[in-house]
Amino acid sequence: MKYLFKNISHLATFGPQKEITNAFVAVEENVITYVGKEAPEGEFDRTVDCSNMIMLPGFVNTHHHLYQSLTRNVRKVQNSKLFDWLVNLYEIWKNLDEEASYVSAAVAAAEMALSGVTTTSDMLYLYPEGKNSIFDEEIKGVSHVGLRFHPTRGAMSMSKKDGGLPPDSVVQTEDEILSEYERVISKYHDRSKYAMTRVALAPCSPFSVTEKLMIETREMAEEKDVLLHTHLSETKDEDEFCVEKFGLRPVDYMDKLGWLNPRVWFAHLVQLKDEEIEKLKKHDVGVAHCPSSNMRLGSGIAPITKMKGMRISLGVDGSASNDTGNMILEARNAMLLQRVKYGADALTPREALEFATLGGAKVLRMDDYIGSIEVGKAADLIMFDMNKLEFAGGLDDPVGAILMCDAKKVDFNMINGKIIVEDGKLLVEDIEKLIERQNEISNRLLRG
Protein backbone atom coordinates (compact mmCIF):
# COMPACT_ATOMS: atom_id res chain seq x y z
CA MET A 1 0.00 0.00 0.00
CA LYS A 2 1.04 3.57 -0.78
CA TYR A 3 -0.53 6.16 1.53
CA LEU A 4 -0.63 9.93 1.27
CA PHE A 5 -1.53 11.90 4.39
CA LYS A 6 -2.42 15.37 3.13
CA ASN A 7 -3.18 18.72 4.75
CA ILE A 8 -1.92 17.61 8.17
CA SER A 9 -2.82 20.59 10.34
CA HIS A 10 0.12 20.19 12.70
CA LEU A 11 2.98 17.76 12.17
CA ALA A 12 5.53 17.35 14.98
CA THR A 13 8.32 15.25 13.46
CA PHE A 14 10.79 15.19 16.38
CA GLY A 15 13.35 15.12 13.58
CA PRO A 16 15.28 17.84 11.71
CA GLN A 17 12.14 19.43 10.24
CA LYS A 18 10.70 19.96 13.74
CA GLU A 19 7.11 21.14 13.18
CA ILE A 20 5.23 21.76 9.93
CA THR A 21 1.71 23.10 9.40
CA ASN A 22 -0.45 21.95 6.50
CA ALA A 23 2.02 19.15 5.87
CA PHE A 24 2.17 16.07 3.66
CA VAL A 25 3.56 12.65 4.58
CA ALA A 26 3.84 9.75 2.13
CA VAL A 27 4.25 6.10 3.06
CA GLU A 28 5.11 3.15 0.84
CA GLU A 29 4.69 -0.30 2.38
CA ASN A 30 6.24 0.21 5.85
CA VAL A 31 8.53 3.19 5.18
CA ILE A 32 8.07 6.97 5.14
CA THR A 33 9.02 8.24 1.67
CA TYR A 34 8.16 11.95 1.88
CA VAL A 35 7.73 14.67 4.51
CA GLY A 36 7.10 18.30 3.56
CA LYS A 37 4.76 21.22 2.83
CA GLU A 38 4.16 20.47 -0.86
CA ALA A 39 2.15 17.56 -2.21
CA PRO A 40 4.48 14.84 -3.53
CA GLU A 41 4.14 13.53 -7.06
CA GLY A 42 2.93 10.03 -7.82
CA GLU A 43 -0.11 7.86 -7.39
CA PHE A 44 -1.33 6.52 -4.05
CA ASP A 45 -3.58 3.63 -3.08
CA ARG A 46 -5.17 5.71 -0.37
CA THR A 47 -5.17 9.43 0.41
CA VAL A 48 -6.15 10.53 3.91
CA ASP A 49 -7.30 14.10 4.53
CA CYS A 50 -5.80 15.21 7.86
CA SER A 51 -7.14 18.77 7.92
CA ASN A 52 -8.03 18.68 11.61
CA MET A 53 -5.31 16.31 12.77
CA ILE A 54 -2.14 16.53 14.82
CA MET A 55 0.44 13.93 13.71
CA LEU A 56 3.37 12.63 15.78
CA PRO A 57 5.70 9.67 15.58
CA GLY A 58 4.37 6.71 17.53
CA PHE A 59 5.11 6.49 21.24
CA VAL A 60 7.83 4.14 22.49
CA ASN A 61 7.19 2.54 25.88
CA THR A 62 10.42 1.30 27.47
CA HIS A 63 9.29 -0.42 30.66
CA HIS A 64 6.33 -2.68 31.33
CA HIS A 65 5.23 -6.01 32.79
CA LEU A 66 2.43 -7.03 30.46
CA TYR A 67 1.22 -9.99 32.51
CA GLN A 68 0.40 -7.63 35.38
CA SER A 69 -2.62 -6.37 33.44
CA LEU A 70 -4.26 -9.47 34.97
CA THR A 71 -3.94 -8.02 38.47
CA ARG A 72 -4.89 -4.36 38.31
CA ASN A 73 -6.50 -2.70 41.29
CA VAL A 74 -6.10 -5.64 43.69
CA ARG A 75 -7.77 -4.46 46.88
CA LYS A 76 -5.25 -6.07 49.21
CA VAL A 77 -2.32 -4.04 47.80
CA GLN A 78 -4.06 -0.81 46.81
CA ASN A 79 -2.16 1.07 49.51
CA SER A 80 1.07 -0.95 49.78
CA LYS A 81 4.62 0.21 49.14
CA LEU A 82 6.84 -1.71 46.73
CA PHE A 83 8.27 -4.59 48.80
CA ASP A 84 4.95 -5.42 50.50
CA TRP A 85 3.16 -5.06 47.17
CA LEU A 86 5.56 -7.55 45.56
CA VAL A 87 5.43 -10.14 48.36
CA ASN A 88 1.63 -10.26 48.20
CA LEU A 89 1.33 -10.33 44.41
CA TYR A 90 3.99 -13.01 43.93
CA GLU A 91 1.54 -15.42 45.57
CA ILE A 92 -0.93 -14.66 42.76
CA TRP A 93 1.57 -14.45 39.91
CA LYS A 94 3.12 -17.83 40.73
CA ASN A 95 0.08 -19.41 39.04
CA LEU A 96 0.68 -17.66 35.72
CA ASP A 97 0.49 -20.00 32.72
CA GLU A 98 0.93 -19.84 28.95
CA GLU A 99 -2.63 -18.79 28.14
CA ALA A 100 -2.54 -16.08 30.79
CA SER A 101 0.69 -14.76 29.29
CA TYR A 102 -0.74 -14.64 25.76
CA VAL A 103 -4.05 -13.05 26.70
CA SER A 104 -2.58 -10.46 29.08
CA ALA A 105 0.06 -9.45 26.52
CA ALA A 106 -2.57 -8.95 23.82
CA VAL A 107 -4.88 -6.98 26.12
CA ALA A 108 -2.07 -4.76 27.43
CA ALA A 109 -0.77 -4.16 23.90
CA ALA A 110 -4.24 -3.21 22.67
CA GLU A 111 -4.64 -0.74 25.52
CA MET A 112 -1.30 0.84 24.69
CA ALA A 113 -2.16 1.07 20.99
CA LEU A 114 -5.16 3.24 21.84
CA SER A 115 -2.87 5.60 23.74
CA GLY A 116 -0.47 5.93 20.79
CA VAL A 117 2.15 3.29 21.54
CA THR A 118 3.69 1.79 18.41
CA THR A 119 6.72 0.17 20.08
CA THR A 120 6.89 -1.36 23.54
CA SER A 121 9.44 -3.12 25.64
CA ASP A 122 8.56 -5.52 28.42
CA MET A 123 10.31 -7.20 31.34
CA LEU A 124 9.05 -10.73 31.91
CA TYR A 125 11.05 -11.92 34.89
CA LEU A 126 8.74 -14.41 36.60
CA TYR A 127 8.72 -18.03 35.40
CA PRO A 128 6.69 -20.63 37.30
CA GLU A 129 8.40 -24.02 37.17
CA GLY A 130 8.39 -25.58 33.71
CA LYS A 131 6.87 -22.54 32.03
CA ASN A 132 9.69 -20.91 30.05
CA SER A 133 7.32 -20.77 27.10
CA ILE A 134 5.32 -17.95 28.69
CA PHE A 135 7.96 -15.72 27.08
CA ASP A 136 7.06 -17.14 23.65
CA GLU A 137 3.36 -16.69 24.35
CA GLU A 138 3.91 -13.08 25.33
CA ILE A 139 5.53 -12.41 21.95
CA LYS A 140 2.57 -14.08 20.21
CA GLY A 141 0.12 -11.96 22.21
CA VAL A 142 1.79 -8.67 21.25
CA SER A 143 2.07 -9.84 17.64
CA HIS A 144 -1.70 -10.46 17.63
CA VAL A 145 -2.19 -6.71 18.13
CA GLY A 146 0.68 -5.62 15.88
CA LEU A 147 2.95 -3.55 18.11
CA ARG A 148 6.66 -3.40 17.46
CA PHE A 149 8.14 -5.35 20.38
CA HIS A 150 11.43 -5.29 22.29
CA PRO A 151 10.85 -7.81 25.11
CA THR A 152 13.48 -8.44 27.73
CA ARG A 153 14.09 -11.93 29.04
CA GLY A 154 13.95 -11.28 32.75
CA ALA A 155 15.23 -13.48 35.55
CA MET A 156 15.10 -14.12 39.28
CA SER A 157 17.44 -16.60 40.98
CA MET A 158 17.00 -15.65 44.66
CA SER A 159 13.86 -16.69 46.53
CA LYS A 160 12.85 -16.00 50.13
CA LYS A 161 15.20 -18.67 51.44
CA ASP A 162 18.11 -16.87 49.72
CA GLY A 163 17.21 -13.46 51.10
CA GLY A 164 15.02 -12.43 48.15
CA LEU A 165 11.29 -11.69 47.99
CA PRO A 166 9.62 -14.26 45.66
CA PRO A 167 8.58 -17.82 46.48
CA ASP A 168 10.75 -20.73 45.33
CA SER A 169 8.30 -21.67 42.58
CA VAL A 170 9.02 -18.60 40.40
CA VAL A 171 12.82 -18.44 40.56
CA GLN A 172 15.17 -20.40 38.34
CA THR A 173 18.67 -21.79 38.52
CA GLU A 174 21.31 -19.66 36.92
CA ASP A 175 22.14 -22.39 34.41
CA GLU A 176 18.53 -22.46 33.24
CA ILE A 177 18.42 -18.67 33.00
CA LEU A 178 21.59 -18.53 30.90
CA SER A 179 20.30 -21.30 28.65
CA GLU A 180 17.02 -19.43 28.15
CA TYR A 181 18.89 -16.22 27.38
CA GLU A 182 20.61 -17.99 24.51
CA ARG A 183 17.42 -19.64 23.28
CA VAL A 184 15.30 -16.50 23.04
CA ILE A 185 18.05 -14.40 21.47
CA SER A 186 18.61 -17.07 18.83
CA LYS A 187 14.91 -17.49 18.15
CA TYR A 188 13.58 -13.93 18.30
CA HIS A 189 16.26 -11.25 18.06
CA ASP A 190 16.00 -9.60 14.65
CA ARG A 191 18.98 -7.36 13.89
CA SER A 192 17.62 -6.04 10.59
CA LYS A 193 16.36 -2.51 10.07
CA TYR A 194 12.60 -2.16 10.63
CA ALA A 195 12.66 -5.26 12.85
CA MET A 196 9.37 -5.96 14.61
CA THR A 197 10.98 -8.03 17.38
CA ARG A 198 14.25 -7.59 19.24
CA VAL A 199 15.32 -9.07 22.58
CA ALA A 200 17.26 -7.73 25.56
CA LEU A 201 18.39 -9.37 28.82
CA ALA A 202 17.02 -8.24 32.17
CA PRO A 203 17.79 -9.64 35.61
CA CYS A 204 14.89 -8.28 37.63
CA SER A 205 16.77 -6.27 40.24
CA PRO A 206 19.88 -6.26 42.46
CA PHE A 207 17.89 -7.99 45.21
CA SER A 208 16.51 -10.83 43.07
CA VAL A 209 19.66 -12.27 41.46
CA THR A 210 23.25 -12.92 42.48
CA GLU A 211 26.24 -10.79 41.66
CA LYS A 212 27.54 -13.68 39.57
CA LEU A 213 24.41 -13.74 37.39
CA MET A 214 24.52 -9.98 36.89
CA ILE A 215 28.06 -10.29 35.56
CA GLU A 216 27.31 -13.34 33.41
CA THR A 217 24.27 -11.59 31.95
CA ARG A 218 26.40 -8.59 31.00
CA GLU A 219 29.00 -10.85 29.42
CA MET A 220 26.36 -12.63 27.35
CA ALA A 221 24.83 -9.33 26.26
CA GLU A 222 28.26 -8.21 25.07
CA GLU A 223 28.86 -11.51 23.28
CA LYS A 224 25.44 -11.50 21.57
CA ASP A 225 25.34 -7.72 21.11
CA VAL A 226 21.99 -7.14 22.79
CA LEU A 227 20.83 -4.57 25.33
CA LEU A 228 20.61 -4.84 29.12
CA HIS A 229 17.87 -3.71 31.46
CA THR A 230 16.94 -3.84 35.14
CA HIS A 231 15.10 -1.96 37.88
CA LEU A 232 17.35 0.35 39.87
CA SER A 233 17.13 2.81 42.74
CA GLU A 234 13.35 2.78 42.80
CA THR A 235 12.79 3.13 46.56
CA LYS A 236 14.61 4.05 49.75
CA ASP A 237 14.17 0.43 50.87
CA GLU A 238 16.19 -0.72 47.87
CA ASP A 239 18.97 1.76 48.62
CA GLU A 240 19.15 0.52 52.20
CA PHE A 241 19.12 -3.11 51.03
CA CYS A 242 22.04 -2.52 48.66
CA VAL A 243 24.11 -0.71 51.27
CA GLU A 244 23.43 -3.42 53.83
CA LYS A 245 24.09 -6.35 51.49
CA PHE A 246 26.76 -5.02 49.13
CA GLY A 247 28.23 -2.09 51.02
CA LEU A 248 27.36 0.12 48.06
CA ARG A 249 24.49 2.27 46.86
CA PRO A 250 22.71 0.88 43.77
CA VAL A 251 24.50 2.97 41.13
CA ASP A 252 27.92 2.21 42.60
CA TYR A 253 27.03 -1.48 42.77
CA MET A 254 26.12 -1.42 39.06
CA ASP A 255 29.44 0.30 38.37
CA LYS A 256 31.26 -2.47 40.19
CA LEU A 257 29.50 -5.07 38.02
CA GLY A 258 30.31 -3.30 34.76
CA TRP A 259 26.67 -2.37 34.22
CA LEU A 260 27.29 1.31 33.55
CA ASN A 261 27.68 1.25 29.78
CA PRO A 262 25.80 2.37 26.63
CA ARG A 263 23.88 -0.89 26.13
CA VAL A 264 22.10 -0.45 29.51
CA TRP A 265 18.89 1.26 30.49
CA PHE A 266 17.50 1.34 34.03
CA ALA A 267 13.89 1.62 35.11
CA HIS A 268 12.97 4.26 37.73
CA LEU A 269 16.20 5.85 39.09
CA VAL A 270 14.20 7.71 41.72
CA GLN A 271 16.59 7.81 44.68
CA LEU A 272 19.65 9.40 43.05
CA LYS A 273 22.31 11.77 44.32
CA ASP A 274 23.69 14.48 42.02
CA GLU A 275 27.05 12.74 41.67
CA GLU A 276 25.28 9.51 40.68
CA ILE A 277 23.43 11.34 37.91
CA GLU A 278 26.73 12.63 36.58
CA LYS A 279 28.17 9.11 36.64
CA LEU A 280 25.19 7.79 34.66
CA LYS A 281 25.56 10.60 32.12
CA LYS A 282 29.27 9.90 31.74
CA HIS A 283 28.59 6.26 30.87
CA ASP A 284 25.69 7.03 28.48
CA VAL A 285 23.18 4.96 30.46
CA GLY A 286 19.50 5.23 29.50
CA VAL A 287 16.53 5.64 31.83
CA ALA A 288 12.90 4.53 31.68
CA HIS A 289 11.03 7.10 33.76
CA CYS A 290 7.79 5.68 35.21
CA PRO A 291 6.05 8.61 36.93
CA SER A 292 2.61 7.03 37.41
CA SER A 293 4.03 3.91 39.05
CA ASN A 294 6.35 6.00 41.22
CA MET A 295 3.37 8.04 42.40
CA ARG A 296 1.06 5.06 42.86
CA LEU A 297 3.56 3.15 45.04
CA GLY A 298 4.77 6.28 46.84
CA SER A 299 8.32 5.69 45.65
CA GLY A 300 9.20 9.34 45.10
CA ILE A 301 9.92 11.77 42.27
CA ALA A 302 12.75 10.84 39.93
CA PRO A 303 15.05 13.84 39.32
CA ILE A 304 14.45 13.83 35.56
CA THR A 305 15.00 17.57 35.29
CA LYS A 306 18.55 17.03 36.52
CA MET A 307 19.02 14.10 34.12
CA LYS A 308 18.57 16.16 30.95
CA GLY A 309 21.42 15.20 28.66
CA MET A 310 20.89 11.50 29.32
CA ARG A 311 18.86 9.21 27.06
CA ILE A 312 15.47 9.64 28.77
CA SER A 313 12.34 7.65 27.92
CA LEU A 314 9.00 6.83 29.50
CA GLY A 315 7.52 3.56 30.75
CA VAL A 316 3.97 2.82 31.85
CA ASP A 317 5.42 0.09 34.11
CA GLY A 318 3.35 -2.89 35.14
CA SER A 319 -0.39 -2.48 34.97
CA ALA A 320 -0.49 -3.62 38.59
CA SER A 321 1.74 -0.76 39.79
CA ASN A 322 0.03 1.82 37.58
CA ASP A 323 -3.37 0.20 37.04
CA THR A 324 -3.43 1.43 33.46
CA GLY A 325 -1.20 1.35 30.41
CA ASN A 326 -1.87 4.80 29.02
CA MET A 327 1.20 6.40 27.44
CA ILE A 328 -0.47 9.79 26.95
CA LEU A 329 -1.16 9.91 30.67
CA GLU A 330 2.44 8.85 31.36
CA ALA A 331 3.81 11.78 29.38
CA ARG A 332 1.40 14.21 31.07
CA ASN A 333 2.31 12.90 34.52
CA ALA A 334 6.01 13.16 33.68
CA MET A 335 5.54 16.82 32.84
CA LEU A 336 3.40 17.64 35.88
CA LEU A 337 5.42 15.67 38.41
CA GLN A 338 8.66 17.47 37.54
CA ARG A 339 6.85 20.78 37.97
CA VAL A 340 5.71 19.76 41.45
CA LYS A 341 9.32 19.49 42.57
CA TYR A 342 11.28 21.80 40.28
CA GLY A 343 8.85 24.52 39.19
CA ALA A 344 6.48 25.35 36.33
CA ASP A 345 9.26 25.56 33.75
CA ALA A 346 10.94 22.27 34.74
CA LEU A 347 9.57 20.24 31.82
CA THR A 348 7.68 21.46 28.75
CA PRO A 349 4.99 19.52 26.87
CA ARG A 350 7.34 19.05 23.93
CA GLU A 351 10.13 17.73 26.14
CA ALA A 352 7.78 15.17 27.65
CA LEU A 353 6.53 14.17 24.20
CA GLU A 354 10.11 13.80 23.01
CA PHE A 355 10.79 11.42 25.92
CA ALA A 356 7.79 9.41 24.70
CA THR A 357 8.98 9.27 21.09
CA LEU A 358 12.58 9.85 20.05
CA GLY A 359 13.79 9.41 23.63
CA GLY A 360 12.32 5.92 23.77
CA ALA A 361 13.84 5.05 20.41
CA LYS A 362 17.27 6.19 21.63
CA VAL A 363 16.99 4.17 24.83
CA LEU A 364 16.15 1.03 22.85
CA ARG A 365 18.86 1.87 20.30
CA MET A 366 16.25 1.83 17.55
CA ASP A 367 16.43 5.53 16.63
CA ASP A 368 17.87 4.66 13.23
CA TYR A 369 14.37 3.65 12.16
CA ILE A 370 11.75 4.79 14.73
CA GLY A 371 11.13 7.75 17.04
CA SER A 372 10.74 10.54 14.49
CA ILE A 373 8.94 11.26 11.22
CA GLU A 374 11.67 11.33 8.59
CA VAL A 375 12.18 9.92 5.12
CA GLY A 376 13.55 6.39 5.43
CA LYS A 377 12.12 5.73 8.86
CA ALA A 378 9.41 3.21 9.66
CA ALA A 379 5.80 4.27 9.14
CA ASP A 380 4.91 4.38 12.84
CA LEU A 381 2.47 7.31 12.95
CA ILE A 382 -0.22 8.50 15.35
CA MET A 383 -2.80 11.25 15.02
CA PHE A 384 -5.17 13.18 17.26
CA ASP A 385 -8.39 14.77 15.96
CA MET A 386 -8.55 18.36 17.19
CA ASN A 387 -12.36 18.39 16.98
CA LYS A 388 -12.65 16.69 20.35
CA LEU A 389 -14.15 17.96 23.57
CA GLU A 390 -10.86 17.99 25.47
CA PHE A 391 -9.23 20.27 22.88
CA ALA A 392 -12.07 22.82 22.74
CA GLY A 393 -10.59 26.25 23.47
CA GLY A 394 -7.07 24.84 23.81
CA LEU A 395 -5.67 25.03 20.29
CA ASP A 396 -3.39 28.03 20.58
CA ASP A 397 -0.66 25.36 20.61
CA PRO A 398 -2.11 22.12 19.18
CA VAL A 399 0.97 19.99 19.89
CA GLY A 400 1.15 21.17 23.49
CA ALA A 401 -2.59 20.55 23.84
CA ILE A 402 -2.04 16.79 23.69
CA LEU A 403 -0.65 16.92 27.22
CA MET A 404 -1.85 20.23 28.58
CA CYS A 405 -5.48 19.50 27.66
CA ASP A 406 -5.26 15.79 28.59
CA ALA A 407 -5.97 13.99 25.32
CA LYS A 408 -7.86 10.79 26.07
CA LYS A 409 -6.66 8.52 23.24
CA VAL A 410 -5.37 8.60 19.68
CA ASP A 411 -7.71 8.63 16.70
CA PHE A 412 -5.22 6.94 14.37
CA ASN A 413 -2.31 4.58 14.89
CA MET A 414 -0.22 3.09 12.08
CA ILE A 415 2.53 0.62 12.95
CA ASN A 416 5.04 -0.47 10.31
CA GLY A 417 2.63 0.70 7.62
CA LYS A 418 -0.39 -1.16 9.04
CA ILE A 419 -3.36 0.71 10.52
CA ILE A 420 -4.12 -0.51 14.06
CA VAL A 421 -6.45 2.30 15.19
CA GLU A 422 -8.71 4.33 12.89
CA ASP A 423 -11.42 6.83 13.82
CA GLY A 424 -10.55 6.08 17.43
CA LYS A 425 -11.46 2.41 17.06
CA LEU A 426 -9.12 -0.50 17.64
CA LEU A 427 -8.83 -2.76 14.59
CA VAL A 428 -7.75 -5.91 16.40
CA GLU A 429 -9.34 -9.28 15.75
CA ASP A 430 -11.17 -10.91 18.67
CA ILE A 431 -10.41 -8.09 21.13
CA GLU A 432 -13.79 -8.48 22.88
CA LYS A 433 -13.17 -12.20 23.39
CA LEU A 434 -9.68 -11.49 24.71
CA ILE A 435 -11.04 -8.98 27.23
CA GLU A 436 -13.65 -11.50 28.38
CA ARG A 437 -11.02 -14.21 28.73
CA GLN A 438 -8.68 -11.83 30.56
CA ASN A 439 -11.35 -11.22 33.20
CA GLU A 440 -11.96 -14.95 33.59
CA ILE A 441 -8.25 -15.66 34.07
CA SER A 442 -7.88 -12.72 36.44
CA ASN A 443 -10.75 -13.98 38.57
CA ARG A 444 -9.24 -17.46 38.70
CA LEU A 445 -5.83 -16.11 39.76
CA LEU A 446 -7.28 -13.85 42.44
CA ARG A 447 -9.51 -16.54 43.88
CA GLY A 448 -6.67 -19.10 43.89
Average pLDDT over residues 326-338: 98
| C-alpha separations of 103 from 97, 137, 309, 331, 418 in Å | 10, 9, 38, 26, 22
Average pLDDT along the chain: 97
Taking the C-alpha atoms of residue 220 and residue 199, their distance in angstroms, rounded to an integer, is 13
Contact (CB, 8 A) for 291 and 299: no
Q: Is the pLDDT of residue 163 over 90?
A: no
- Our measurement of the distance from residue 277's CA atom to the centroid of its chain's CA atoms, rounded to an integer in Å, reads 22
Among candidates 132, 248, 211, which has minimal Cα distance to 179? 132
* 47 and 115 co-located in one domain: no
What's the chain's length in residues? 448
Cβ-Cβ contacts under 8 Å for 8 (sequence gap 6 or more)? 20, 22, 23, 24, 25, 50, 53, 54, 55, 383
Query: Quick one: 77 and 208 in the same domain?
Result: yes
Residues linked to residue 22 through DSSP beta bridges, in sequence order: none
Tell me, yes or no, whether 446 lies in a domain. no
158 in the same domain as 25? no
Query: Does some domain include residue 436?
Result: no
Query: What pLDDT does 5 receive?
Result: 98
- Residue 301: CATH number of its domain: 3.20.20.140
Which of the pair, 448 or 284, is modelled with greater confidence? 284
Give 175: exposed, middle or buried? Use CB within 10 Å, 0-12, 13-18, 19+: exposed
What SS3 class is residue 311? strand
Q: Which H or E element spans position 318?
A: none
In a domain, 69, yes or no: yes
Average pLDDT of the segment spanning 256-270:
98
Model pTM score: 0.98
Q: Indicate whether 179 and 242 sit together in one domain.
A: yes
Residues 141 and 290 in one domain: yes
Q: What is the pLDDT of residue 388?
A: 97
What pLDDT is attached to residue 318?
A: 86
pLDDT of amino acid 443: 97
Is 164 a residue whose pLDDT tops 90?
no
364 pLDDT more than 90: yes
Residue 301 pLDDT: 98
Write the DSSP string, 41-69.
SS--SEEEE-TTEEEEEPEEE----GGGG
pLDDT (mean) for 347-362: 98
Total domain count, the chain: 2
Domain range spanning residue 348?
A: 59-363
